Amino acid sequence: MLVLLHPTILNLLVVHAQKNCDFPAIINLGDSNSDTGGYAACFTPPTSPYGDTYFHRPARRFSDGRLVIDFIGFFANLTIQQVNASVPDIVNNFSANVKNLYSSGGRSFWIHNTGPIGCLPYVLTAFSSAERDSAGCLKPHNEVAQYFNLKLKEAVAQLRNEFPSAAFTYVDIYSVKYSLFAEPQKHGFELPLVTCCGYGGQYNYSAEVLCGGTIRVNGTEIFVGSCERPSVRVVWDGIHYTEAANKFVYDQISTGSFSDPPIPLKQACQRT
């Protein structure tokens, strides 16, 4: 049994142990960055242009196409200091969940850290006065993410010591996603901080009207649709990534190049 974990994602893959792992089934329990239908079934499902790139119709995914899992698989009213203070409890709860999964038979864990939230348009818009880094992302918010990732990696090391019979792979999603914002042209992307499917402002994002919605401007009803080329854009709706970005992330992390230990996904059931 291989368990894929993300701070907001828990993916359970049932496998037979062998040298190259075979993942015949996936059970995904997560937020809208990973969920392929449950969220939409419980709440309001996304409408066109969601899904246009790959499915050519809305497919209950909050992207123009597939999510990271398809390729396998915040601050509210708190201050930065308050969020930092909450990190140990979050990580401890995360570890407790891993232990519960271990007690239920989980022996192989693929654990993703969190991404650069300070690069997402919905955060950039909400915290417009915060300090920027060289990529134009919010520095304090990304520092929170990096602090969380540090504590998460420490927790993974502790879990390895506590459960030597299990395989724990820590995956640095943050570095892969940040490279899309820091060096977009190098990877074939453009306008990384600008929402593809959105409306208004510097980042083409407004919480008042989201992708697939309508807004009246000077008496004219405007449909909030997709940009012309989502295949070269990083952010889909200001919160979620495009299919192209998700595919890029999968291509990078599946090789093991951003993993500790550096083993590919197909061998993530192996202990080192």
Q: What is the sign of the dihedral through the CA atoms of 8, 12, 17 and 23?
A: negative
- Look up 240 and say whether it is catalytic: yes
CA 93 – CA 99 distance, rounded (Å): 10
- Give Cα 74 to chain centroid, integer Å: 13
Q: 20: how many CB neighbours lie within 10 A of its CB?
A: 9
Backbone torsions φ then ψ of 222, nearest 5 degrees: -115, 130
- Look up 141 and say whether it is catalytic: no
Q: 189: how many CB neighbours lie within 10 A of its CB?
A: 21
The conformation of residue 99, written as its DSSP 8-state character, comes to H
> What are the DSSP calls for 184-248, one per residue?
TGGGT---TTS-SS--STTTT-BTTB-TT-EEEETTEEEE----S-GGG-SBSSSSSB-HHHHHH
Q: Which of 35, 52, 172, 237 is catalytic?
A: 237
Cα–Cα distances in angstroms (integers) from residue 143 to residues 30, 42, 138, 171, 189, in the given order: 24, 33, 9, 18, 24
CA 252 – CA 265 distance, rounded (Å): 11
End-to-end Cα separation, the chain, in angstroms: 17
Q: Which of 70, 141, 240, 254 is catalytic?
A: 240
Alpha-carbon torsion angle 54, 137, 81, 157, nearest 10: 60
Q: What is the sign of the dihedral through the CA atoms of 242, 25, 17 and 101?
A: positive
Q: Which of 32, 108, 226, 254 is catalytic?
A: 32
- Look up 32 and say whether it is catalytic: yes
Active-site residue list: 32, 237, 240
